[in-house]
């Protein structure tokens, strides 16, 4: 079999990116547009989404910006319907929004629990469901949700966040099983420690920042742009037989977690 660069091309495809105003969502939008897709940059921060879209256009790519609150079920449905009416379909969904409240479980309030569970699970479920229905009818598509290394490794203060990231994996696997007969693929990307607004708290603490860097095989944090390649892979025909999978993009963190280099 001859491998062609066209396997990774997304020319003519329509990609909706939830959370495109910053961080991993912004990097995903840029990567998808660079591969030829029309990047629909959606975010509750419409101005930020507009900046992402404008940057893509300035680089010669195709992009549009729109406001989207993935916690508003009616708005999600209406937005997806409007996009399909305008563009005919949605070929790719990338959903990245997440929030974390770093506290021991015994100190969590009910309101904090609802906040983390609400966005990380319910919000991603609502946009996944709305776009999944479109793809089910079209008999094609790729849905990419963002999990985390916290789906398999945890530490004090990360319990509720970790639960949502494990839940995201199982939710994606279930949809992969349900939509497989329609030719729709559903996968997760599980990053390690990435420099984004979500991890700004850690970056402010040099000891904490350096400790996390040492936990990966590469000895450093990831940059958000390093998530773009995995997104393009899962969106493209290069991953045509990949569904129900979790792609760890963690610099080897889960391979060597708890590492100790003995004096050998």
Q: Which residues are catalytic?
A: 161
Cα Rg of the chain (Å, integer): 18
Cα 219 to chain centroid distance, Å, stands at 23
Question: Measured in Å, how far apart are the chain's first and last C-alpha atoms?
Answer: 44
The vertex-88 CA angle with 87 and 93, nearest 5°, equals 75
Q: Give the separation between CA 30 and CA 89, rounded to whole angstroms.
A: 20
Q: Give the separation between CA 89 and CA 159, rounded to whole angstroms.
A: 37
Cα 52 to chain centroid distance, Å, stands at 16
3-state secondary structure of 55: helix
Q: Give the separation between CA 224 and CA 5, rounded to whole angstroms.
A: 23
């Amino acid at each position: 079999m001859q491998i062609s660069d066209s396997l990774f091309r997304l020319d003519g495809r329509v990609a909706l990116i939830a959370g495109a105003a910053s961080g991993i969502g912004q990097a995903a939008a840029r990567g998808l547009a660079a591969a030829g897709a029309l990047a629909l940059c959606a975010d509750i921060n419409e101005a930020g989404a507009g900046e992402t879209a404008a940057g893509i256009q300035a680089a010669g790519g195709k992009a549009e910006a729109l406001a989207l609150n993935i916690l508003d079920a009616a708005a999600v449905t209406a937005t997806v319907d409007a996009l399909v009416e305008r563009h005919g379909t949605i070929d790719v969904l990338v959903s990245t929004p997440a929030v974390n409240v770093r506290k021991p479980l015994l100190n969590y309030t009910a309101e904090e629990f609802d906040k983390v569970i609400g966005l990380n699970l319910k919000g991603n479920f609502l946009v996944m469901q709305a776009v999944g229905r479109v793809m089910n009818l079209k008999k094609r598509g790729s849905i990419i949700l963002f999990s985390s290394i916290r789906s398999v490794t945890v530490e004090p203060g990360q319990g509720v966040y970790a639960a949502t990231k494990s839940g995201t994996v199982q939710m994606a696997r279930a949809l992969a099983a349900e939509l497989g007969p329609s030719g729709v693929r559903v996968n997760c990307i599980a990053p390690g420690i990435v420099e984004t607004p979500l991890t700004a708290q850690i970056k402010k603490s040099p000891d904490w920042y350096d400790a996390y860097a040492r936990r990966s095989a590469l000895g450093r944090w990831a940059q958000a742009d390093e998530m773009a390649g995995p997104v393009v892979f899962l969106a493209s025909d290069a991953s045509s037989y990949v569904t129900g999978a979790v792609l760890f993009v963690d610099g080897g963190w889960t391979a060597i977690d708890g590492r100790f280099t003995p004096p050998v």
